[in-house]
Amino acid sequence: MEKKGKFPISKIAALLLLLLFLAVEFRGLSHLENSDENVYFYMSRLVAEGKLPYKDFFYAHPPLELLIGAAIFKLFGFSLPMLKLVPLLAMAASGYLVYRISGAQFGELAGFLSSAFFLFSYRVLFEATYFTGIALAVFFLLMGFWLMQRQPLLAGLFFSLAALTRLLSLIPIAVLLGFLLLKRFRTFAAAASVFTAVFLSANLLLLGLSPDYFVSVYKFHLLKPAAEGNTLQLFAEFATQNWLPLTAASLAIVLWNRRLMVFAAAAGASLVFLLGLSRIFSFYFLIALPFLAVMAGVAVDSSLKKLSWQKYALVAVLLVIAANAAFSISHLWQFDFAQFKTGQEMADYAKANSMEGDLIFGDMTSAPLVALLSGRRIMADIADTNEMAYLSGVRDIKAELELAKRLKPRFFIVRPLYGIGSLRETEQFLTENCHLEKAYKDPLWADFLVFDCSTNRKA
């Protein structure tokens, strides 16, 4: 309940914050990107057509994101704005939940500041329109947290939905349920029983549909080879890009509040887990940000209450948040929202220089996008050609290239030194079986080479 006199316009301010966030991100709904989201788009199309992940094509995560994407394909076909609206709405809803969770425990101003730290952190701004599943997982996780003590059965359901979207959410879920166990056993038992029943039942069902489910979703991530310098480099990048919420969250440790322990434990456990992984990606950090944002908001609110000139200090804090957000937004609009024009050009070329039944294969971030935009299909539904799948031994690059010899894809797209284009076997296959048809130099993503493997002619 809002405390009178503390921050009477907080709900209006929180709503304006959400509207501002949506306005900032609106441009991202129509922007083509050379990223992993393209492979998830294509896989959503496959599910909409009746194909089963793990059985009919390799997919390295639990299936919930693809089911949502498939529903969009069923309703709208390939609609970039509708697909990107999923993570955007999930992220905006997460910002609102951060406001409610923090505000309910620490006061309305703390809730507003927590939401501002979350929504306008660089990582959230960057990921808000990327269909990678992490935004959905964060939303389900926070819904579970919000409902945990008042409606534990529903909380358990939302926790299971988070885990069935991205397994990373299992770390903060374990922490939250652990704290609930120490506080209210009966409430813990209700939430944990529903979570366990739904999560295990879904996993057993998926395993029954395809024995490859366990290999794809669990074993693969354990077998990924380490990337030298990858983890520490990305931790440093995360700290640099999100310095403001991290600095404010660090202040919470100095001004310790016992009620922040659950937030600190959830964030800390998530970060320690990432530190122990052999290979991580920048969007993984999003799982810890809501908890860090609450710590940041509460710390600043507590500091302001100690000052006699609280109103002026609050204005100064809001100006710092706004200035930091403006810098991040400028970078977002200038670089991250820059159109992947080469992807559209390759798609236009593919559509004009191939027939409807011709196949596309290759680079996992661009080939699926080219296939979707041109109305062509990926060879044998092999959309994910992440080199980690081959280097881990979960997939056999030689067997898939032998299949390419038989099926003769019209276009084999590679980005030298990246993904499938970095493998020696790919280079040898292209040299012996294909000829270079088109080369593109993208200002942001370097070179893209388009080979014709439908004949044995050499350039």
pLDDT tens-digit profile of 77-133? 999 999 999 999 999 999 999 999 999 999 999 999 999 999 999 999 999 999 999
**DSSP characters over 240-302:** HHTHHHHHHHHHHHHT--GGGHHHHHHHHHHHHHHHHSSS--GGGGGGTHHHHHHHHHHHHHH
If pLDDT is split at 50, 70 and 90, which confidence band does 308 have?
A: confident
3-state secondary structure of 373: helix
154: pLDDT strictly greater than 90: yes
Question: Pairing between strand 359-362 and 446-452?
Answer: unpaired
pLDDT digits over 290-305, tens only?
999 999 999 999 999 8
Q: Which two tokens stand for residue 406?
A: 């038989």
**DSSP characters over 295-339:** HHHHHHHHHHHT-TTHHHHHHHHHHHHHHHHHHHHHHIIIIITS-
Most distant CA atoms of the chain, gap in Å = 80
Contact 7, 113 (CB under 8 A): no
pLDDT of residue 185: 95
Ranges of beta strands (E only) in 165-248 are: none
CB neighbour class for 125 (10 Å; exposed up to 12, middle 13-18, buried from 19): buried
Q: Which two tokens stand for residue 214?
A: 């366990």
11: pLDDT strictly greater than 90: no
Q: How far is CA 219 from the centre of its chain?
A: 20
How far is 135 from 129, CA to CA, in rounded Å? 9
Contact 181, 146 (CB under 8 A): no
Per-residue pLDDT, averaged over 325-339, amounts to 90
